Every structure is written in C-alpha cells, then in structure tokens.
Structure 1
Amino acid sequence: MTRLATLCLPAAFLALASPAPAAEQEAIDGCIDQLRTVGGPDGQSGTVVSSEFSEAGTLVMLRDAGGTLWRCIGYSDGAVGELAVAEAADDGAGAMAGASGDMVSEEQVRFAAGTSGATLTGTLAAGASKRYLLGAKDGQFLDVNLSGTGGGLSYQIFNPDETFLLDMVPAGQDYRGQLWQSGDHVVEVINRGDGAAEYTLGVTIE
C-alpha cells in the first residue's frame, strides 16, 4: 500500500491520507527518527513522499528540507534496516553532510568473463545492510542463496523500479525466479542481529 503524507520535525507527524496501520506507522516513525539522527540540518523537517507496507519491511521514501530524497526500510517494531540517499540535492551542505555510511553500503556486481554468477562475502555490523546491484534483463532467471553466522541475517530483492521482487526471507532460504523487468536488480543483505555477522552470498543470472 502506498501512502502520501507530510512530516514536520520535530513537530508531530501530519498525515495527508488516511491514517497508516499501526505496524506501518511504527516503520514510518522509525525512518523519521533515523533521518533526524543522520540527516544534518535539512533532515530535521521534510515530507514523507510515500510508504509501501510489507510484513517483511516497509519501504518509506522521505524528502528532507534541502530536497534530498531518502530511501528507508523500516520495520513494525520501529527499527530501521536501511536509510540511504536515493536522489541527492545539490545544495552544497545539509543532509549529505550529516549522512553516515556505516549503516548501508552498495556494490555493483560484475561477473567474471565466461561466467553467469558470483560468490560474495562480507561482514555486517548489527543493524547494517549491504545492497548488491545486478544488471539483468526481462525473462532471465535469478538464483540467490545466503548463508552466514548468527541468527539475524536475512535478504530481500528489489526490481529496478524499487518494488519488491522478494520480501525479506532468512538466510538459508534460497530463491529462484524469472525476472520481468530490465535493469539493476538489488539483492540486499541485512543483519538484524545483536552482533556482527559474516555472510556468503551466491548469485546467478541465466
């Protein structure tokens, strides 16, 4: 479900549409709080552009006072799995100056010549996530598997238009499916555990 709303921070949240369900509102509020923490002066006020609720995680798009568009994944308990700049405003200061790169990182995946897949490894701090961008075409098949230490690892997959291809699933649950869009698909690995976690991610496109 996509909703439009306005926020004024630190004042109370003001909705322009019908009130969001409690679980969705908790996710929105968590994203707002996180933006206030990392968004610098511009992050103290702005607009909730949209929210797309899912039991696995709510996609919230926020535009701060400086015009920067932020992409946030929030959860029903108010926790935030990701907050990243989706479209930076060229204002020379403000939101970007206060942003932290510790919470989320991004990597473009390129397969070695003659191969159709890759194995990627890494370590995520508690509450952090990493987004892997995979260029693929409509009609191809994507295979994903994730394993790692600790019990808090999970992953989700987004289409190029940022809709969910796969809602969040735990490590150990493999995915195989046919794609229906062309462009960069995103496999996001998330650590919702209490400590750092090492992981191995396998991806194949055929």
Structure 2
Amino acid sequence: MKSFSFALATASTAVTLGVASPAIADEQAAIDGCIDRLRAEGGPDAQAGGEILSSEFSEAGTLVMLRDAGGTVWRCIGYNDGTVGELTVAQAADDGGGAMAGASSEPATTTVQVRFDAGTSGAELTGTLSPGSSTRYVLGANNGQNLYVRVATDTDGVFYQIFNPDGSFLLEQMTPDREYRGELWQSGDHVVEVINRGNGTAGYNVIFGID
C-alpha cells in the first residue's frame, strides 16, 4: 500500500467503470515505480509519505513530480514497466538550519539509467546535488563506439568522471569547462558520475551522445 496520495487529479484517476486504458495503466506503473524509488532512496521523509503533485504521460517516459513528508519536491522519470530512469531533487526543503529536512548527514549517491528516445543518439538530463553527493549515469555502449559528455553548471565545485564497464577510469575527475569526446574500448555499462564537491546545492545539465 503506497503512503503517497494524489494531490491533483491526473489521467490515472480518470478510470471509467474501473477499467483503465493502456495509457492510464502505463502511467500508473510509472508513478508506482517513482514512489517505490523515492521511498527507497529519499530518506526518512520519503518513507513517511507524501503526495503526487502531477504526472505527464508520454511514450518516452512519464514525468512525475512528488513532494515528500518533509516538503522536498522530487522530479522523477518513470517508464511503463515500472522502472525509473531519473530521480532528482527539484526543490529542497529547508529544516531551518540550512539543510534539507530529514536529510542524512552522509553524502548520497543516486543511479540513473540513461535512455535515448527512439531514433536518437543522445539525451540531455538535469539534476540537483547537495554538497558531497553524486549522481551516476549508466549508459550501455559497445567497443568502438564514440561517447560524448558535456556537463554545464553555474556552481563551483562540480566535477565529473567516467568509468569503463570493468570499473576502471575512462576519464578521471574533470571540471565541467572541458567536455569529453572519445572512442570506447569496452562493451557494457559505462558510468558517468557527476559530483558536487562544493559547499552549496548545485544544479546542472548533462548531455550524452553515443554514435
């Protein structure tokens, strides 16, 4: 039983005679996946419950906005199989001491599976990182393909690094003013990790390309 409740009527609440259309069922699966992911990774405030602010269904992925019990707003991209491609903080709540309400004192690491829209070879994602936290973006690619990565931010202290499927470095820690473009030499899941080593919350965009 989910501890989240609908704050706004969405397509998933407009079920006639209890029979959901395929699109509504797909949207609900994406919403449920986002709730489960938030409860697993969002800390005590997320486990305590919250509300779904909105959901926007598309075949490429459903955008779900949620608010946890501490007031932090989360942005989630969910898919019709219940998996989650992205979960990030859209608006952090303040507990009065300058920290996110209910947040752990330990830095957090989030993992995002990157998916490209059909017919494309790239994607652009946005994220927000608290001090000391990081997001690991996972991209499946093959030996001989070319990888492009660009991180854009106005905040000091943000870095990124890239790992090969075997865990070795493809690129050691780099500043956002330098983009990466190079040929891959292993097949499998490559990881681009964006890290906030600054003292404040950092927002950023990251662009990926594989050809």
Give the TM-score normalised by the residue count of structure 2: 0.50
Q: How far is the alpha carbon of 1:128 from its aligned partner?
A: 0.3
2:111 matches 1:106: yes
Q: How does 1:104-183 map to 2 (within 5 A)?
A: 104-183=109-188
| Cα distance change of structure 1 residues 147 and 129 upon mapping to structure 2, 3 Å threshold | same
Counterpart code for 1:114: G
Q: Deviations over 1:122-152 (max 9, x none)?
A: 1000000000000000000000000112111
Q: Does the Cα contact within 8 Å between 2:107 and 2:131 map onto a contact in 1?
A: no
Give per-residue Cα distances to partners, 1:140-179, cap 9 Å, x unaligned: 0000000112111110000000000000001121000000
The separation in 2 between residues aligned to 1:166 and 1:114, in whole angstroms, is 28
1:1-206 alignment, distance < 5 Å: 103-206=108-211
Query: Structure 2: how far apart are the matches of 1:128 and 1:102?
Result: 5
1:173 partner letter: R
Specify the SS of the correspondent of 1:156: strand
Measure how far apart 1:102 and its partner are.
Answer: 5.6
What's the secondary structure of 2:148's corresponding residue?
strand
3-state SS of paired residue (1:171): coil
Residues 29-53 of structure 1: CA deviation (Å, up to 9, x unaligned) = xxxxxxxxxxxxxxxxxxxxxxxxx
Name the CA shift for 1:116/1:170 in 2 (closer, same or farther; >3 Å). Answer: same
Using a 3 Å threshold, how does the CA distance of structure 1 residues 135 and 101 change in structure 2: closer, same or farther?
farther
Identity percentage of aligned residues: 56
Q: Distance in 1 between matches of 2:173 and 2:203?
A: 18
Give the CA deviation at 1:202: 0.3
Aligned residues: 108
CA RMSD of aligned residues (A): 1.6
Q: SS at 1:115's partner residue?
A: coil
In structure 1, runs of 5+ residues without a counterpart are 1-98
CA–CA distance in structure 2, aligned partners of residues 169 and 142 of structure 1:
15
- For residues 193 and 156 of structure 2, the distance between their equivalents in structure 1, rounded to whole angstroms, comes to 16
Q: Structure 2 CA distance, aligned partners of 1:172 and 1:204?
A: 17
Q: Which residue type is aligned with residue 202 of structure 1?
A: I
Q: Which amino acid aligns with 2:208?
A: V
